A and B are shown apart, each in its own frame.
Chain A
């Protein structure tokens, strides 16, 4: 396999974004063609990467930048987990592109280049094997996300964006503090080298190491929106434009990815009695608290976009709790849930965007679940957008399509059969029971079931309010391109329902791999180069 495959998912979007900036905003078609080409290429690259790392006997690929030995240089590491996340990112981005074709990309400048920078940051964060490099890629993806969160402007968006940026800048400071503390104790920032060193850290400085790891953890928990660090999330996601919110559904999963990776690599069983499973209890109970907060918020949500935001919280909390248990079988199920919930929430944000867009007031296009008053005179406004759209307008049965998608999203998010949401939840819950009675597992198990039930209630209420109580609230023009995105995402979930066997086997292998960090260390630091 070509070694450069590992760095390609980072370099490609960077080059494309730079090119798009050079081409300029005016040549929309060229910019768009570049975006589509980049996203298609990314999906193919990610698939190739996944095939390469999942072949028998191959455990991962290491890319040494500048060919320096891993102890001195920076490495990129692709194993099964990284490849999975990169593929998920690329697929989501590709599926969202048609939706962005419509009115959204023209509401502000440089939508497409920002999206490409975001992809670069995400892929980099998933592939890097170095803590400081992780910080750099986090900043890249955050900087792009600031731009995207503000895309479309408007007072509500800017105000929510302000909070989002302030919270994330503070989190970045904590990230830096954690990284520097860890560096101070161990003298390295390479993840594999750290994992090797942690069992040998003297007792005297172990507390400092733990403090550093905890600070780092807090930074990621802020991104994951763990209660009580996640109050920024529903508001920001509700205020962002639908495409962006759908892409952001993945951003909380970056935090989950890093916690999963570092938690198991640095503080797995091999870390010695003093450090093993450090922080896992926090993740478990934090996850439980997050699910509770998400349920309460969801039941109280008076706005469809907020409802979607609280669904993100529930998904984050469930994942945090599941990876906090640190059982390989549960982790495999959690990864399945991660994929399905990301796709489903993204689709739900898109549906919400379409449902809410009939108000079409730029500053306030959220959909209130309050009793509906008088439909505004916004038809003229609509016509304005219809004119400048390249895609054709589809009028045939948009309600059927929207309500069908809404229903599918509800099933997926609540985890009801027959869709893949159920399979993912089942794959996560069944091993919890088999693992025997542990307080944490029992509480989490119950709570996930309750969360599913409450999702059903909240979604039913919203659905009845939107589709049945006020049928006069017509959903105006649903464009073909927007429908394509939603159907693509839901179709993927459906496909995963049917073809569940292969992906699940892959995820089980992934979970086994990340639960045996020795393999990862061996990969990055081959014995030959242990000491110069």
Chain B
């Protein structure tokens, strides 16, 4: 499972960086989204990977090692919400830029004729 998750994070981040460096605004925002997925998965995995473990204590608490670390899950929720909001805001700016300049180049002007 570790290998699959690590590969997923790596591929997401790599594709995100590649897209982020592209000249079209749409590619940039997709790149940012992919990077934020990678980061969110990374935060999620930082508490250790475990299947079927509860993050919340039961009445019969038992061994604490049976449980998954709840804090990364709380952190990732916050990160998702904030990332979502800022991406939405960025999207609005992209549309405004498209409207004002008439093209979707990040510099507002198209180098190619």
The listed residue with most B CB atoms (<10 A of its CB), out of A132, A155, A158, A173, is A173
Verify if A153 is at the interface (C-beta below 8 Å from B): yes
| Complexed CA–CA distance, A132 and B93 (Å) | 27
Contact indicator per residue, chain A 175-216, by CB within 8 Å of chain B (1) or not (0): 011011101100000000000000000000000000000000
Q: Which of A143, A153, A166, A184 contacts B28 (CB 8 A)?
A: A166
Contact B106 A163 (CB under 8 A): yes
Verify if B90 is at the interface (C-beta below 8 Å from A): yes
- Closest Cβ neighbor of B107 among chain A residues: A159
B60 to chain A, nearest CB (A): 21
A68 to chain B, nearest CB (A): 14
Contact A166 B89 (CB under 8 A): no
Contact B101 A173 (CB under 8 A): no
Contact A155 B101 (CB under 8 A): yes
Chain B residue contacts of A143, Cβ below 8 A: 85-86, 89
Contact B20 A170 (CB under 8 A): yes
Residues A176 and B93 in contact in the complex (CB < 8 Å), given A136-B78, A162-B106, A183-B71: no
Verify if A324 is at the interface (C-beta below 8 Å from B): no
- Closest Cβ neighbor of A363 among chain B residues: B100
Residues A162 and B89 in contact in the complex (CB < 8 Å), given A176-B39, A176-B43: no
Residues A180 and B42 in contact in the complex (CB < 8 Å), given A159-B108, A166-B32, A170-B35: yes
| Complexed CA–CA distance, A497 and B107 (Å) | 44
Contact A173 B96 (CB under 8 A): no
Chain A residue contacts of B79, Cβ below 8 A: 135, 176
Q: Which of A373-422 contact B (CB under 8 A)?
A: none
| Complexed CA–CA distance, A154 and B100 (Å) | 8
Verify if B94 is at the interface (C-beta below 8 Å from A): yes
Chain B residue contacts of A154, Cβ below 8 A: 100
Contact indicator per residue, chain A 136-173, by CB within 8 Å of chain B (1) or not (0): 10010011001000100111001101110110011011
A148 to chain B, nearest CB (A): 13
Verify if B97 is at the interface (C-beta below 8 Å from A): yes
A125 to chain B, nearest CB (A): 14
Contact B43 A165 (CB under 8 A): no
Q: Which of B36, B78, B100, B107 contacts A132 (CB 8 A)?
A: B78
Contact indicator per residue, chain B 76-99, by CB within 8 Å of chain A (1) or not (0): 001100110111011001101100
- Closest Cβ neighbor of B43 among chain A residues: A180
Verify if B72 is at the interface (C-beta below 8 Å from A): yes
A262 to chain B, nearest CB (A): 18
Contact B86 A139 (CB under 8 A): yes
Number of residues on chain B facing chain A (CB within 8 A) = 32
Verify if B75 is at the interface (C-beta below 8 Å from A): yes
Chain B residue contacts of A183, Cβ below 8 A: 46, 71-72, 75
| Complexed CA–CA distance, A150 and B106 (Å) | 16
Where the two chains meet, the residues of B that have a C-beta atom closer than 8 Å to any C-beta of A are 20, 25, 28, 32, 35-36, 39, 42-43, 46-47, 71-72, 75, 78-79, 82-83, 85-87, 89-90, 93-94, 96-97, 100-101, 106-108
- Closest Cβ neighbor of A166 among chain B residues: B28
| Complexed CA–CA distance, A176 and B83 (Å) | 11
- Closest Cβ neighbor of B90 among chain A residues: A165
Q: DSSP class of A's interface residues: helix, strand, loop or mixed?
A: helix
Contact B94 A162 (CB under 8 A): yes
25 contacts between A and B (CB under 8 A): A132-B78, A135-B82, A136-B82, A142-B86, A146-B93, A153-B96, A158-B100, A158-B108, A159-B101, A159-B107, A162-B25, A162-B93, A166-B20, A166-B28, A166-B32, A169-B87, A170-B20, A170-B35, A173-B32, A173-B35, A173-B36, A179-B75, A180-B42, A180-B72, A183-B72
User: In the complex, which range does the number of interface residues on chain A fall in?
Assistant: 20 to 34
A230 to chain B, nearest CB (A): 18
Chain B residue contacts of A169, Cβ below 8 A: 32, 86-87, 90
- Closest Cβ neighbor of A181 among chain B residues: B46
Chain A residue contacts of B85, Cβ below 8 A: 143
Q: Which of A166, A172, A177 contacts B42 (CB 8 A)?
A: A177
Chain A residue contacts of B36, Cβ below 8 A: 173
Chain B residue contacts of A146, Cβ below 8 A: 86, 89, 93
| Complexed CA–CA distance, A163 and B21 (Å) | 12
Chain B residue contacts of A176, Cβ below 8 A: 39, 43, 79
Chain B residue contacts of A153, Cβ below 8 A: 96, 100
Chain B residue contacts of A181, Cβ below 8 A: 46
| Complexed CA–CA distance, A161 and B72 (Å) | 32
- Closest Cβ neighbor of B33 among chain A residues: A169
Chain A residue contacts of B87, Cβ below 8 A: 169
- Closest Cβ neighbor of B20 among chain A residues: A170
The listed residue with most B CB atoms (<10 A of its CB), out of A136, A142, A170, A180, is A180
Q: Which 7 A-B pairs have the closest CB atoms?
A: A184-B46, A159-B108, A180-B43, A155-B100, A180-B46, A139-B82, A158-B97
Chain B residue contacts of A150, Cβ below 8 A: 93, 96
- Closest Cβ neighbor of B16 among chain A residues: A173
Contact A177 B100 (CB under 8 A): no
Chain A residue contacts of B106, Cβ below 8 A: 162-163, 166
